[in-house]
Amino acid sequence: FLQKWVNREISNFDYLIQLNTMAGRTYNDLAQYPVFPWILRDYTSEELDLNNPSVFRDLSKPIGVVNEKNAKAVKEKYENFEDPLGIIDKFHYGTHYSNAAGVMHYLIRVEPFTTLHIQLQSGRFDCADRQFHSIPATWQALMDNPNDVKELIPEFFYFPEFLENQNGFNLGQLQISKEVVNDVVLPRWAHSPEDFIYKHRKALESEYVSAHLHEWIDLIFGYKQRGPAAVEALNVFY
């Protein structure tokens, strides 16, 4: 199976799905939902140039430190952490790259996730500013905030419907711009949800990602998950 992937007989998408399954992740459990990487960092250009390595995220780093500026804060947090009771080990991140709230966050426009989100928020939608309303803004928030470390879910590569508010839910409006939260705002290079999915999937199967995907797999499923390799990679979670 690994050999098939190395020989490029199966796609990156299929390989990631298989890895998630082998790791015990499943669509049936929001707390163990399949996890996929952010693969791009260009959400503002008019055209997406997949031959240009600079449009891709650095897959060798955890998402919390893809922005070099955050690495120092994350490192210091780890080094200065001291649990007076000696129970909690040092960690870089207090949240996780994949959790139930994150899955509901991305899939809020689609049932049954809408209802689950409302239940989680004690019977109403969370305030609009915290909703998933824009792909470029979500990426920007990740770059600005080392405490936000959400990776993606597989739907970003095959399911355009989750980007549309087809059920007409009232998700509120943003505080500052007063913009109504409706369909997800797409990168400039995507002309429709379908176009976004098509290009994003193409990016996942691109030469660059094929050459670097194993670096991300080491962080999430491999030897950099714990121990000295995780500490060095700034990849220790609470």
Over residues 176-227, the pLDDT tens digits come to 999 999 999 999 999 999 999 999 999 999 999 999 999 999 999 999 999 9
Cα dihedral sign, 60-63-64-70: positive
Across the range 36-47, mean pLDDT stands at 97
Domains of the chain by residue range = 1-233
Closest CA to 139 of 107, 179, 185: 185
Helix axes 207-220, 12-22, angle to 10 degrees: 10
Residue 85 has pLDDT above 90, yes or no: no
| pLDDT band, residue 82 (cuts 50/70/90) | confident
157, 202 contact by CB (below 8 A): no
Over residues 109-134, the pLDDT tens digits come to 999 999 999 999 999 999 999 999 99
Topology classification of domain 1-233: Neurobeachin; Chain: A, domain 1 (1.10.1540)
Which residues are CB-contacts of 62 (< 8 A; sequence separation ≥ 6)?
Answer: 92, 93, 97, 149, 219, 233, 234, 235
Over residues 199-210, the pLDDT tens digits come to 999 999 999 999
Which residues are CB-contacts of 79 (< 8 A; sequence separation ≥ 6)?
Answer: 90
Residue 147 has pLDDT above 90, yes or no: no
**Is the link from the previous residue into 53 a cis peptide, with omega within 30 of 0?**
no
